[in-house]
Structure 1
Amino acid sequence: MASIWRYILAGLGLAALLVGIVAVVYQTLPHSASGPDLSRSKKTANGLFVASFEPERGDIRQGELQSWLLTLKTAAGAPVEGAAITVSGGMPQHNHGLPTSPQATDYLGEGRY
């Protein structure tokens, strides 16, 4: 009977050890508390400009081509005239780029493209 209790205690000890290891591994993994950045307005890395974008029609329909307006201003709020706009992007979590080749087609005035 004493040998059965030894096996039970050893099993419980191993289970506790495994739970502890899993807890330590989970706590040391990097966690993103806020999730992905979904903001539509952002300062450039050097802080000189602010870029904002919005859908041209107001509603977003999945699976359809969209037209978006980009507004580019200086950090002080002045519109940026005649900027050269290059568009790139993708889905890093899915490891692929965009399915189309978006491009800025026209300057609409007041820093809007």
Structure 2
Amino acid sequence: MTKTKESVESQASDGKGSAGPPDGFANLEDRGSTLFVRVSRMDNQRSVPVAIARAALEAHFGAGEGEKDLAHAYLSHRPTINAKVLELAPAGDVYTDANPMLLGAGDFE
């Protein structure tokens, strides 16, 4: 797990593909049962607020129960998860911080 953690941290710190600051965790909020993220749309005008269920990150992306495990799972699989968000998100401002897109384990099957 250390190797994965190191590669995730270096990926997050090098800024490649990161929608946020270089530390990579600033746009991630672990809410216990969900991970809250913002996914940029292709036009970079708006982002989609998303709450990803812990069960989805554990079942499909190898998240554990440790500190920052949800964030590491997201960062390790960001292209796949973001592609799913953009596939499911309709055009327009349907989602807000108070009403984010909800992704569960079934969304990645």
**TM class by shorter-chain length?**
under 0.3
Larger radius of gyration: 1
TM-score (normalizing by structure 2): 0.25
Q: Higher relative CO (CA 8 A, sep ≥ 6), structure 1 or 2?
A: 2
